[in-house]
Amino acid sequence: MKALYEIRHGSKESIDEDVYLVCDRIPSKEEYIEFKKTQTKDYNIITIQDGHVTDCLKGLKDEINNSIFYTFYNHPQIVQNPILSLVERDIFPKVVMVVREMLAFASRTKYRDSIKMSLKSGIFSDRVQTLISINLTEIESFDKISNQEALKFYAQQLGMIMPLLEGKKEIFDKELMDEDLKPFLYRKEITEDDLCLLNDMLRRFTLMLTHYFAASVSSEEMNIVTLKDGRKFDVKFEKYI
């Protein structure tokens, strides 16, 4: 693996430094473990060819492609923007990832047992129902994750996934997200009203998921979902088969 250059991405006002490392290829697991020992930054390694992201170590290459396209000029860079255009988003893998991550963040709360069961089974409809049962206003502690960071995660994910499901322009800048999310995104002091608004948004998201599932899925057999376009997706391993 040969490192070529870095790309910083994300919101202009972000205090976190989110960096992609563009390489000539994606490393093996063993190579990446050795590589991390020599680094101070938490890189996500990607490859770019002909103006588009072609592969990535973590995440979804279509999301990474469009994130770079939209947020490249928010930060000082050492190269010109290598992403020449947006690509069409494949929404189902993103939805599966977001639902799994939202459940995982609450896996050390009073919802632990139901979350563990739905994550282990890989049945997507069960995961959605489990997410529907979660009330953020009733969670006193996320255990090993601070409440501030956990709620920021929920706000950020909702701010990105809901416009995507609504067919609107993708949003990767937190300053462009819904005003109700801003207290969480900017790590401000959270009021009870703020938390209720975030929880209401989570409820709207789960309702959107229910409609999206009905419109996009042909059948579900355990952890295998068949989309109406004929593609089959393994929810447990998060990949098409």
Number of independent structural domains in the chain? 2
Q: Are residues 101 and 61 in the same domain?
A: no
Provide the token pair at 110: 């009073």
Percentage of the chain modeled with pLDDT above 70: 100
Do 96 and 238 touch, CB atoms closer than 8 A?
A: yes
The amino acid occupying position 78 is I
In a domain, 81, yes or no: no
Q: Kindly indicate the confidence band of residue 102, based on its pLDDT and cuts at 50, 70 and 90.
A: very high
What's the pTM? 0.92
Average pLDDT over residues 177-187: 95
Q: Which of 48, 74, 100 is the last residue of a domain?
A: 74
Edge-to-edge strand order for the sheet containing 3-9?
3-9, 18-23, 44-49, 52-56
Provide the token pair at 172: 């990767």
Percentage of the chain modeled with pLDDT above 90: 91
Could you report the per-residue pLDDT of 118-139, keeping only the tens digit for each? 999 999 999 999 999 999 999 9
Q: Are residues 227 and 147 in the same domain?
A: yes
Average pLDDT over residues 100-105: 97
Per the prediction, the chain carries an average pLDDT of: 94
Q: Are residues 96 and 196 in the same domain?
A: yes
The predicted pLDDT at position 197 comes to 98
The predicted pLDDT at position 16 comes to 73
Q: Are residues 50 and 97 in the same domain?
A: no
Q: How many CB atoms lie within 10 A of CB 146?
A: 12
In a domain, 222, yes or no: yes
Could you report the per-residue pLDDT of 22-79, keeping only the tens digit for each? 999 999 999 999 998 888 888 899 999 999 999 999 999 999 999 999 999 999 999 9
89 contact partners, CB below 8 Å, separation of at least 6: 62, 63, 66, 164, 170
Residue 212: which domain range? 91-234
Average pLDDT over residues 143-149: 93
C-alpha span between 240 and 234 (Å, rounded): 6
170 contact partners, CB below 8 Å, separation of at least 6: 66, 70, 89, 160, 163, 164
- The helix (H) or strand (E) run that includes residue 135 is none
DSSP state of 59: S
Beta pairing class for 217-221 and 52-56? unpaired
The predicted pLDDT at position 14 comes to 75
Q: Are residues 222 and 103 in the same domain?
A: yes
Asked if the model's pLDDT at residue 15 lies above 80, the reply is: no
Q: Are residues 118 and 201 in the same domain?
A: yes
Tell how far CA 238 is from the center of its chain: 13
